[in-house]
Amino acid sequence: DQQVKQNSPSLSVQEGRISILNCDYTNSMFDYFLWYKKYPAEGPTFLISISSIKDKNEDGRFTVFLNKSAKHLSLHIVPSQPGDSAVYFCAASGHSGTYKYIFGTGTRLKVLA
Amino acid sequence: DAGVIQSPRHEVTEMGQEVTLRCKPISGHDYLFWYRQTMMRGLELLIYFNNNVPIDDSGMPEDRFSAKMPNASFSTLKIQPSEPRDSAVYFCASSARLGDGGNEQFFGPGTRLTVL
């Protein structure tokens, strides 16, 4: 049973527009969430994280929003750039400090020039 | 630092053969993780170590899979015998202890395993 779900396997966005990637989770004990980005033939790299005590965390063009009541988080990329084209994985952990992450299946983002 | 190093990058083998994947974590990192990536299940955690000791191996699919970490700079994931359904990309990742930069895990480039 997938505890972390990314229901959109792919997404295409025009350069300069906003990209919104979504992630849902089922376990209410999760309290730390991360996004990783993965280019072909490379390992995933950390992008941004958020603790459950917050509902928003921003880093440059990347913002993660957390809605605990809906068990939903989203990653916004504004403005989108062709170099953002990659697979994005959402991950969650049971409590801050644990090292066991549950990853989603990923969303492939394609930013069109 | 060279980052997490994995070898080989690609492995093609026949069903029934033994496969050994290797990982060198980032120096100074106390935690090491083995993941498997498939289209259907995404990134699955197989096992992780803390200070060379296996902490959680609940993700290891079956007894055909085993992992060791004989020292702080080396780990292996072995599949014996291998089966076609083991075909996937296997990632190794490492992480510093909490407080030294947080929970970020650093991934290696992965080993693409194909079992014929």
Chain A residues close to B101, C-beta within 8 Å? none
Strand partners, B65: B79
Residue B24, pLDDT > 90, answer yes
What is the distance between the alpha carbons of residues B23 and A30, in angstroms, rounded to a whole number? 29
How far A41 CA lies from chain B's nearest CA (Å)? 7
What integer is the mean pLDDT of A58-66?
A: 97
| DSSP code for A8 | -
Q: For residue B10, what is the nearest residue in chain A, using CA coordinates?
A: A41
pLDDT at site A79 = 97
On whether any CB of chain A is under 8 Å from the CB of B105, the answer is yes
Confidence of residue B100 (pLDDT cuts 50, 70, 90): very low
How far B61 CA lies from chain A's nearest CA (Å)? 15
8 Å CB contact of B42 and A49: no
What is the distance between the alpha carbons of residues B21 and B104, in angstroms, rounded to a whole number? 23
Phi, psi at A76, each rounded to 5°: -110, 135
Q: What structural domains and CATH numbers belong to chain A?
A: 4-112 (2.60.40.10)
Residue A62, pLDDT > 60, answer yes
pLDDT at site B101 = 42
- A90-110 pLDDT tens trace: 999 876 556 688 899 999 999
Q: What CA–CA distances, in Å, run from B46 to A46, A102, B17, B36?
A: 19, 11, 20, 7
Residues 6+ apart with CB under 8 A from A60: none
pLDDT at site B40 = 83
pLDDT at site A59 = 95
Q: For residue A87, what is the nearest residue in chain B, using CA coordinates?
A: B42
Chain B residues close to A50, C-beta within 8 Å? none
Provide the phi-psi class of A98: left if phi over 0, else alpha when psi is between -120 and 50, else beta.
beta
